[in-house]
Amino acid sequence: MSIRTVGVIGAGQMGNGIAHVFALAGYEVQLHDVKEEAIDAAIAKIDKNMDRQVGKGAIDPAEKAAAIGRIHKAVDIAACGATDLVIEAATENEAVKVKIFEAVAPHLLPNTILTSNTSSISITRLASGTDRPERFMGFHFMNPVPLMQLVELIRGIATDKETYDTLLEVVNNLGKTAASAEDFPAFIVNRILLPMINEAVYTLYEGVGTVESIDMAMRLGANHPMGPLQLADFIGLDVCLAIMNVLHEGLADTKYRPCPLLVKYVEAGWLGRKTGRGFYDYRGDTPRPTR
């Protein structure tokens, strides 16, 4: 089937990035959030990010103007449902995602494909609560969406081949690369990445190294572009903890036990860049370690 219209549910960091790349690729996008001001803020951010692309010569002003014109405010979730493809991009909380799929269900077209941008939650389980498990998939973009090349495609147990092939074509149209993953906790990227971050937090917790020395060791010793604790702050410590809990509960292996220090930071509300404090304090001119 051909995808021309896309509904993005959730206008946060991931949702606005997804809307950005789809609009640039020529798709008509309906962008929805529970708060209208979040939609306005997302469109303003997309406009600013596209200006940056114009400044770098990646796109021209006419392309930018056309793309912004393809992004529509969907104050009512019904507008998102009446599209060829729905992408849920809400917080990494299964109960929230289930409620979104329940809310959009009455408004779906017969052939609408449902997808979730979840980074760890079972696609089969999410699909089972809908009326179209055969047309349901995991569609996991990396953050920041406009810059990152990879998209994980995750089939649930009931996903049919036509749905997979359709989304593979969409990924190609976006100019990105697809990695196919089986429906196991955290899929590929986060199954590997988050335990590494969790181990870095254990290394801090046990006093093996400081925040600065751990991040420096991985940047200079493993040639990582960003240290694991800095990366955790960028992702959001609440998201890191949620994914580790999914791994720990889904695979029942103690090696995935979230570090108590990670739990403590989340309990304190120190979630990283988005709250101003995490493993670094971002409230001054330059980030400073909090331990």
Residues 102 and 232 in one domain: no
Assign residue 72 the CATH number of its domain.
Answer: 3.40.50.720
Helix then strand then coil, in percent of the chain rounded to 5, is 50, 15, 35
Find the mean pLDDT for residues 72-98.
95
Rounded Cα–Cα distance for residues 201 and 262 (Å): 7
Residue 66 scores a pLDDT above 80: yes
CB-CB contact of 30 with 83 (8 Å): yes
Q: Which residue out of 88, 116, 152, 198 is catalytically annotated?
A: 152
Q: How do residues 146-193 score in pLDDT, each as one tens digit?
A: 999 999 999 999 999 999 999 999 999 999 999 999 999 999 999 999
Residues 223 and 201 in one domain: yes
Residue 230 scores a pLDDT above 90: yes
Q: Does the annotation count 20 as an active-site position?
A: no
Q: Does the annotation count 117 as an active-site position?
A: no
Find the mean pLDDT for residues 186-201.
97
Assign residue 223 the CATH number of its domain.
Answer: 1.10.1040.10
H helices, E strands: number in the chain: 12, 10
Q: Does the annotation count 213 as an active-site position?
A: no
pLDDT of residue 92: 87
Q: How do residues 110-137 score in pLDDT, each as one tens digit?
A: 999 999 999 989 999 999 999 999 999 9
* Number of domains forming the structure of the chain: 2
Q: Which residue out of 116, 117, 120, 190 is catalytically annotated?
A: 190
Q: Does the annotation count 140 as an active-site position?
A: yes
Q: Are strands 150-155 and 136-141 parallel, antiparallel or unpaired?
A: antiparallel
Residue 238 buriedness (CB in 10 A; 0-12 / 13-18 / 19+) = buried
pLDDT of residue 286: 95
Residue 209 buriedness (CB in 10 A; 0-12 / 13-18 / 19+) = middle
Q: Which residue out of 32, 120, 140, 198 is catalytically annotated?
A: 140
Mean pLDDT across the chain, nearest whole number?
Answer: 96
Structure tokens at 265: 């930071």
Range of the domain at 262: 190-289
Q: Which residue out of 117, 119, 120, 122 is catalytically annotated?
A: 119
